[in-house]
Amino acid sequence: MVRLLVECGWYVNEVDVEGRTPLHCAAENGHDPVVQVLLTNEQLDVNARDHRKSTALHEAAWKGHLAVADLLLTKPNIDINVEDRYGCTPLPLGCASHAGNLPMLELLLGRSDVQVNAADQNEQPPLWSAALQGHIQVVERLLQCGDIDVNQGWGPYSSPLLAAITRGHSDVAMRLLNCVPRLDVNVRTYLGDSALSLAAHQGYTDVVARLLEIWQTDRNGTDRWGRTALWWAARAGQARIVQRLLEDDRVLIDVMDNDGVDAMHTASSHYRFDVARLIRTHCSTRYSNWTGSAPHHLRTRS
Protein backbone atom coordinates (compact mmCIF):
# COMPACT_ATOMS: atom_id res chain seq x y z
CA MET A 1 0.00 0.00 0.00
CA VAL A 2 2.77 2.46 0.92
CA ARG A 3 4.63 1.64 -2.28
CA LEU A 4 1.46 2.25 -4.29
CA LEU A 5 0.86 5.60 -2.60
CA VAL A 6 4.45 6.68 -3.23
CA GLU A 7 4.23 5.65 -6.89
CA CYS A 8 0.99 7.62 -7.24
CA GLY A 9 2.68 10.84 -6.15
CA TRP A 10 1.75 10.91 -2.47
CA TYR A 11 3.60 13.68 -0.59
CA VAL A 12 5.96 11.67 1.60
CA ASN A 13 6.81 14.56 3.94
CA GLU A 14 3.22 15.15 5.02
CA VAL A 15 2.97 15.79 8.78
CA ASP A 16 0.35 15.05 11.42
CA VAL A 17 -0.69 17.32 14.30
CA GLU A 18 2.55 16.52 16.14
CA GLY A 19 4.70 17.35 13.14
CA ARG A 20 5.53 13.70 12.52
CA THR A 21 6.10 12.40 9.01
CA PRO A 22 5.36 8.87 7.77
CA LEU A 23 9.08 8.18 8.17
CA HIS A 24 8.89 9.10 11.87
CA CYS A 25 6.00 6.69 12.39
CA ALA A 26 7.60 3.84 10.47
CA ALA A 27 10.91 4.28 12.30
CA GLU A 28 9.28 4.41 15.72
CA ASN A 29 7.38 1.18 15.11
CA GLY A 30 10.26 -0.68 13.50
CA HIS A 31 8.59 -1.09 10.11
CA ASP A 32 11.78 -1.44 8.10
CA PRO A 33 10.01 -2.51 4.84
CA VAL A 34 8.01 0.74 4.96
CA VAL A 35 11.16 2.73 5.73
CA GLN A 36 12.88 1.08 2.79
CA VAL A 37 10.07 2.10 0.43
CA LEU A 38 10.02 5.67 1.73
CA LEU A 39 13.77 6.00 1.29
CA THR A 40 13.42 5.37 -2.44
CA ASN A 41 11.57 8.66 -2.84
CA GLU A 42 13.87 11.52 -3.81
CA GLN A 43 11.66 14.09 -2.10
CA LEU A 44 11.93 12.40 1.30
CA ASP A 45 13.41 14.56 4.05
CA VAL A 46 15.32 12.07 6.22
CA ASN A 47 16.17 14.82 8.71
CA ALA A 48 12.60 16.08 9.14
CA ARG A 49 11.93 17.05 12.76
CA ASP A 50 8.65 16.86 14.62
CA HIS A 51 7.44 19.28 17.29
CA ARG A 52 9.86 17.68 19.79
CA LYS A 53 12.70 18.27 17.31
CA SER A 54 13.12 14.50 16.93
CA THR A 55 14.10 12.85 13.65
CA ALA A 56 13.34 9.36 12.39
CA LEU A 57 16.82 8.33 13.53
CA HIS A 58 15.96 9.46 17.05
CA GLU A 59 12.88 7.24 16.99
CA ALA A 60 14.76 4.21 15.69
CA ALA A 61 17.59 4.62 18.19
CA TRP A 62 15.19 5.26 21.07
CA LYS A 63 13.21 2.08 20.40
CA GLY A 64 16.24 -0.02 19.48
CA HIS A 65 15.14 -0.75 15.91
CA LEU A 66 18.53 -1.71 14.52
CA ALA A 67 17.37 -2.59 10.99
CA VAL A 68 15.61 0.77 10.63
CA ALA A 69 18.63 2.68 11.90
CA ASP A 70 20.84 0.75 9.50
CA LEU A 71 18.60 1.72 6.58
CA LEU A 72 18.51 5.37 7.61
CA LEU A 73 22.28 5.51 7.89
CA THR A 74 22.63 4.49 4.25
CA LYS A 75 21.43 7.96 3.27
CA PRO A 76 24.51 10.16 2.80
CA ASN A 77 22.71 13.32 3.87
CA ILE A 78 21.39 12.03 7.19
CA ASP A 79 22.44 14.08 10.23
CA ILE A 80 23.57 11.63 12.88
CA ASN A 81 24.29 14.30 15.49
CA VAL A 82 21.11 16.37 15.39
CA GLU A 83 19.64 17.21 18.80
CA ASP A 84 16.06 16.72 19.85
CA ARG A 85 14.22 19.04 22.23
CA TYR A 86 15.85 17.36 25.22
CA GLY A 87 19.38 17.78 23.96
CA CYS A 88 19.88 14.11 23.11
CA THR A 89 21.38 12.80 19.90
CA PRO A 90 20.49 9.27 18.72
CA LEU A 91 23.69 7.87 20.22
CA PRO A 92 23.07 8.61 23.90
CA LEU A 93 19.31 8.67 23.62
CA GLY A 94 18.84 5.22 22.17
CA CYS A 95 21.91 3.30 23.16
CA ALA A 96 23.33 4.58 26.40
CA SER A 97 20.69 6.55 28.26
CA HIS A 98 17.86 4.08 28.03
CA ALA A 99 18.32 0.64 26.50
CA GLY A 100 22.06 0.06 26.72
CA ASN A 101 21.74 -1.38 23.24
CA LEU A 102 25.27 -2.40 22.30
CA PRO A 103 24.51 -3.43 18.68
CA MET A 104 22.89 -0.03 18.08
CA LEU A 105 25.88 1.64 19.68
CA GLU A 106 28.26 -0.25 17.39
CA LEU A 107 26.19 0.70 14.37
CA LEU A 108 26.30 4.40 15.20
CA LEU A 109 29.98 4.35 16.15
CA GLY A 110 30.69 2.90 12.72
CA ARG A 111 30.00 6.32 11.25
CA SER A 112 33.09 8.50 10.92
CA ASP A 113 31.03 11.62 11.61
CA VAL A 114 29.49 10.39 14.86
CA GLN A 115 29.81 12.76 17.80
CA VAL A 116 30.97 10.87 20.91
CA ASN A 117 31.04 13.95 23.15
CA ALA A 118 28.35 16.55 23.72
CA ALA A 119 28.82 19.64 21.58
CA ASP A 120 27.56 21.99 24.29
CA GLN A 121 26.35 22.03 27.89
CA ASN A 122 22.73 21.46 26.91
CA GLU A 123 23.41 18.01 25.45
CA GLN A 124 23.56 14.81 27.47
CA PRO A 125 26.99 13.25 26.80
CA PRO A 126 26.86 9.59 25.73
CA LEU A 127 29.30 8.40 28.41
CA TRP A 128 27.47 10.30 31.13
CA SER A 129 24.15 8.80 30.04
CA ALA A 130 25.55 5.29 30.01
CA ALA A 131 27.14 5.74 33.44
CA LEU A 132 23.92 7.15 34.88
CA GLN A 133 21.95 4.12 33.72
CA GLY A 134 24.62 1.61 34.73
CA HIS A 135 25.20 0.21 31.24
CA ILE A 136 28.69 -1.15 31.86
CA GLN A 137 29.11 -2.65 28.37
CA VAL A 138 28.20 0.64 26.74
CA VAL A 139 30.61 2.45 29.06
CA GLU A 140 33.36 -0.01 28.15
CA ARG A 141 32.77 0.50 24.45
CA LEU A 142 32.65 4.28 24.65
CA LEU A 143 35.90 4.34 26.60
CA GLN A 144 37.55 2.69 23.61
CA CYS A 145 36.92 5.87 21.62
CA GLY A 146 40.18 7.78 21.71
CA ASP A 147 38.56 11.21 21.82
CA ILE A 148 35.98 10.45 24.52
CA ASP A 149 35.83 13.05 27.30
CA VAL A 150 35.72 11.01 30.51
CA ASN A 151 34.81 14.05 32.61
CA GLN A 152 32.02 15.55 30.55
CA GLY A 153 28.83 15.66 32.56
CA TRP A 154 25.33 17.07 32.51
CA GLY A 155 23.01 18.37 35.21
CA PRO A 156 23.55 18.09 38.97
CA TYR A 157 25.79 15.01 38.85
CA SER A 158 28.50 16.90 36.97
CA SER A 159 30.47 13.91 35.65
CA PRO A 160 30.06 10.25 34.63
CA LEU A 161 31.89 9.17 37.81
CA LEU A 162 29.54 11.07 40.11
CA ALA A 163 26.50 9.93 38.13
CA ALA A 164 27.52 6.28 38.47
CA ILE A 165 28.16 6.51 42.22
CA THR A 166 24.99 8.49 42.92
CA ARG A 167 22.85 5.95 41.05
CA GLY A 168 24.52 2.99 42.76
CA HIS A 169 26.52 1.63 39.84
CA SER A 170 29.78 0.84 41.62
CA ASP A 171 30.98 -1.42 38.79
CA VAL A 172 30.77 1.51 36.37
CA ALA A 173 32.55 3.76 38.86
CA MET A 174 35.36 1.23 39.23
CA ARG A 175 35.77 1.05 35.46
CA LEU A 176 35.89 4.82 35.16
CA LEU A 177 38.51 5.01 37.91
CA ASN A 178 40.82 3.06 35.63
CA CYS A 179 40.92 6.18 33.45
CA VAL A 180 43.12 8.09 35.91
CA PRO A 181 44.96 10.43 35.30
CA ARG A 182 42.55 11.60 32.58
CA LEU A 183 39.69 11.24 35.04
CA ASP A 184 39.10 14.08 37.51
CA VAL A 185 38.59 12.24 40.80
CA ASN A 186 37.93 15.46 42.73
CA VAL A 187 35.02 16.76 40.66
CA ARG A 188 32.03 17.87 42.76
CA THR A 189 28.25 17.92 42.50
CA TYR A 190 26.43 21.23 42.77
CA LEU A 191 26.16 20.55 46.52
CA GLY A 192 29.90 20.04 46.81
CA ASP A 193 29.81 16.24 47.15
CA SER A 194 32.97 14.49 45.96
CA ALA A 195 33.20 10.96 44.60
CA LEU A 196 34.89 9.88 47.84
CA SER A 197 32.14 11.37 50.01
CA LEU A 198 29.34 9.86 47.93
CA ALA A 199 30.95 6.42 47.88
CA ALA A 200 31.70 6.56 51.62
CA HIS A 201 28.16 7.61 52.47
CA GLN A 202 26.56 4.92 50.32
CA GLY A 203 28.85 2.12 51.45
CA TYR A 204 30.82 1.32 48.31
CA THR A 205 33.92 -0.09 49.97
CA ASP A 206 35.66 -1.04 46.73
CA VAL A 207 35.20 2.44 45.27
CA VAL A 208 36.48 4.10 48.45
CA ALA A 209 39.51 1.80 48.52
CA ARG A 210 40.30 2.54 44.88
CA LEU A 211 39.97 6.29 45.39
CA LEU A 212 42.34 6.13 48.35
CA GLU A 213 44.90 4.36 46.16
CA ILE A 214 44.94 7.42 43.88
CA TRP A 215 47.28 10.04 45.29
CA GLN A 216 45.38 12.92 43.64
CA THR A 217 42.22 12.14 45.62
CA ASP A 218 41.34 14.87 48.11
CA ARG A 219 40.76 12.93 51.32
CA ASN A 220 39.40 15.88 53.28
CA GLY A 221 37.33 17.84 50.79
CA THR A 222 34.15 19.27 52.29
CA ASP A 223 30.69 19.80 50.84
CA ARG A 224 28.39 22.78 51.27
CA TRP A 225 27.86 21.85 54.92
CA GLY A 226 31.55 21.38 55.67
CA ARG A 227 31.29 17.59 55.84
CA THR A 228 34.01 15.18 54.73
CA ALA A 229 33.91 11.61 53.46
CA LEU A 230 34.75 10.36 56.97
CA TRP A 231 31.94 12.45 58.45
CA TRP A 232 29.37 10.96 56.06
CA ALA A 233 30.62 7.40 56.50
CA ALA A 234 30.44 7.81 60.28
CA ARG A 235 26.92 9.22 60.17
CA ALA A 236 25.74 6.36 57.94
CA GLY A 237 27.36 3.75 60.19
CA GLN A 238 29.63 2.45 57.44
CA ALA A 239 32.10 0.79 59.82
CA ARG A 240 34.23 -0.91 57.16
CA ILE A 241 34.62 2.30 55.23
CA VAL A 242 35.37 4.30 58.36
CA GLN A 243 38.08 1.77 59.19
CA ARG A 244 39.55 2.06 55.69
CA LEU A 245 39.54 5.85 55.87
CA LEU A 246 41.17 5.82 59.30
CA GLU A 247 43.98 3.65 57.95
CA ASP A 248 44.94 6.49 55.60
CA ASP A 249 47.18 8.95 57.45
CA ARG A 250 46.13 11.74 55.08
CA VAL A 251 42.53 11.56 56.31
CA LEU A 252 41.92 14.16 59.01
CA ILE A 253 39.84 12.75 61.84
CA ASP A 254 38.64 15.79 63.78
CA VAL A 255 37.31 18.01 60.98
CA MET A 256 34.12 19.72 62.16
CA ASP A 257 31.24 20.66 59.90
CA ASN A 258 29.57 24.07 59.76
CA ASP A 259 27.67 23.24 62.96
CA GLY A 260 30.80 22.27 64.85
CA VAL A 261 30.14 18.51 64.73
CA ASP A 262 32.95 16.09 63.88
CA ALA A 263 32.77 12.50 62.59
CA MET A 264 32.89 10.84 66.00
CA HIS A 265 30.09 12.92 67.43
CA THR A 266 27.81 12.62 64.42
CA ALA A 267 28.23 8.84 64.74
CA SER A 268 27.25 9.00 68.42
CA SER A 269 24.26 11.26 67.79
CA HIS A 270 22.96 8.79 65.21
CA TYR A 271 23.47 5.81 67.55
CA ARG A 272 26.42 4.44 65.59
CA PHE A 273 28.26 3.70 68.80
CA ASP A 274 30.54 1.06 67.30
CA VAL A 275 31.73 3.59 64.73
CA ALA A 276 32.18 6.27 67.39
CA ARG A 277 34.34 3.91 69.47
CA LEU A 278 36.35 3.00 66.38
CA ILE A 279 37.09 6.65 65.65
CA ARG A 280 37.88 7.48 69.29
CA THR A 281 40.29 4.57 69.60
CA HIS A 282 42.03 5.25 66.33
CA CYS A 283 42.20 8.98 66.92
CA SER A 284 43.67 8.54 70.40
CA THR A 285 46.28 6.16 69.05
CA ARG A 286 47.19 8.38 66.12
CA TYR A 287 47.51 11.57 68.13
CA SER A 288 49.29 9.82 70.98
CA ASN A 289 51.88 8.59 68.50
CA TRP A 290 52.34 12.14 67.24
CA THR A 291 52.10 14.19 70.46
CA GLY A 292 52.00 11.79 73.38
CA SER A 293 48.33 12.51 74.21
CA ALA A 294 44.91 12.58 72.56
CA PRO A 295 43.30 15.87 71.48
CA HIS A 296 41.51 17.63 74.32
CA HIS A 297 38.03 17.50 72.71
CA LEU A 298 38.28 13.72 72.31
CA ARG A 299 39.13 13.28 75.98
CA THR A 300 36.49 15.61 77.34
CA ARG A 301 33.47 15.17 75.03
CA SER A 302 31.37 12.02 75.09
In this structure, which topology does domain 1-110 adopt according to CATH? 1.25.40
Q: What is the pLDDT of residues 49-77, one digit of tens each?
A: 999 888 999 899 888 899 999 999 999 99
What is the pLDDT confidence band of residue 157, given thresholds at 50, 70 and 90?
low
For the residues 184-191, what does the mean pLDDT come to? 96
User: How far apart, in whole angstroms, are the C-alpha atoms of residue 118 and residue 235?
Assistant: 37
Of the candidate ranges 6-20, 64-78, 202-216, the one whose mean pLDDT is the lowest: 6-20
Q: What is the pLDDT of residues 134-151, one digit of tens each?
A: 999 999 999 999 999 999
Reduced to 3 states (helix: H, G, I; strand: E, B; else coil), residue 219 is: coil
Give residue 286's pLDDT. 74
Give residue 85's pLDDT. 74
Q: Is the pLDDT of residue 28 over 50?
A: yes
> To the nearest whole number, what is the mean pLDDT of the chain?
89
Of the candidate ranges 6-15, 16-25, 83-92, 273-282, the one whose mean pLDDT is the lowest: 83-92
For the residues 173-185, what does the mean pLDDT come to? 98
Give residue 96's pLDDT. 45
Q: Which residues 6+ apart lie within 8 Å of 47 measured at CB?
A: 55, 77, 78, 79, 82
User: How far apart, in whole angstroms, are the C-alpha atoms of residue 155 and residue 157?
Assistant: 6
Q: Is the pLDDT of residue 282 over 80?
A: yes
